[in-house]
Amino acid sequence: MFPPRRPDPFLPQLDGYEVMRVPGVRAIKPYACPGCHQHIEPGVGHVVAWPEDLVDDRRHWHVHCWRIAARRGRTT
């Protein structure tokens, strides 16, 4: 069993969400950011977040877009 993941102290957390940073070297696919609807290209570090216990609902965000969403307290 894996130890519990500690929150990244440099990323804002949002109640009810798991939040994880993806470093650029591990970002191998393009994604569409739900915050700005622009592409996150391979090789670009970003954030992946999902509602607790709903890992299939994870979304990939630009770090800046995630900071805005978390500050507002919502992802939509």
- Asked if 61 and 46 count as a contact pair (C-beta separation under 8 A), the reply is yes
- What mean pLDDT do residues 66-73 have? 94
| pLDDT attached to residue 25 | 95
List pLDDT tens digits, range 34-58: 999 999 999 999 999 999 989 899 9
Cβ neighbours of residue 55 closer than 8 Å, sequence gap 6 or more:
18
Entry pTM: 0.87
Over 80: is that where the pLDDT of 5 sits? no
**Position 10: which residue type?**
F
**Cα-based torsion angle of the residue sequence 50, 26, 32, 17 in order, rounded to the nearest 10 degrees:** 10
